[in-house]
Amino acid sequence: MGERLLKCSTSTDVEATTEPSQNEPDDLEQQVFPKKQKKVEEYTCIFENKSAYGHSYRSILVQGLDCSLPVADIRSALRKHFGSCGHILSVFVPTECKTGSLLGCALIKYYHPNDEKKALALDGSFLGGMQLGVVKNNTGSSSDFFPNFKGCERCVLTQRKYLHDQFIATRGGRMMAKPPNWILAKWGLALTEEVEAEKQS
């Protein structure tokens, strides 16, 4: 009986001494082969720009732009080309989220509906050697504004967050979060935040 107890006690001692050595290879593997962390892509989603919203009314879609030019130059050229038609509130030149490549189109928002009609008459005109296609923007979804737009994984969530924030800010649509551009223009505050940003860029 005593021998059996001794054998049991020695066997447990052996197991206790062997357990740490069994864990050592795992610790060494973690030191030698650390786990690789996934790299997070750094880019700006187009819908993180507030200028991407609010183009469903009094807006025209201009296609056929020269994609080799900087965005600031395109905006400036469009303002000169379409400025004779009326008061322009904003010019938005969309780009792809991840690559930043131009889509070859732009959205121009006018103060008065009659100005929009005048701008449609410039369909087929030339700007910098490129023939423009000018149509009325009748789309209801932001992602449909831009032809051939691929977008990114954050597009849908970013738009939902924006709509949610607007819903909260307007208390469910019962009040204005901010006076619309046409009111600002009527009050003599014609230069909106978008226009000032364009001039600074």
CB atoms within 10 A of CB 45: 18
Residue 79 pLDDT more than 90? Answer: yes
- Residue 118: what residue type? K
Contact 158, 47 (CB under 8 A): yes
pLDDT at 99 > cutoff 70: yes
End-to-end CA distance of the chain: 92
Residue 3 reports pLDDT greater than 60: no
Percent of the chain with pLDDT over 70: 59
Task: Count Cβ atoms within 10 A of the Cβ of residue 107 and give its class: 0-12 exposed, 13-18 middle, 19 or more buried.
Answer: buried
Where does the pLDDT of residue 91 fall: very low under 50, low under 70, confident under 90, or very high at 90 and above?
very high
Domain 46-200 maps to which CATH number in 3.30.70.330, 3.30.450.20, 2.20.130.10, 3.20.20.150? 3.30.70.330
- pLDDT value at residue 14: 47
Mean pLDDT of 83-112: 91
Average pLDDT score, the chain: 76
Q: Of residues 88 and 25, which shows the higher confidence score?
A: 88
Per-residue CA distances from 190 to 85, 119, 193 (Å): 16, 19, 10
Give residues with Cβ within 8 angstroms of 198, minimum separation 6.
72, 75, 76, 79, 91
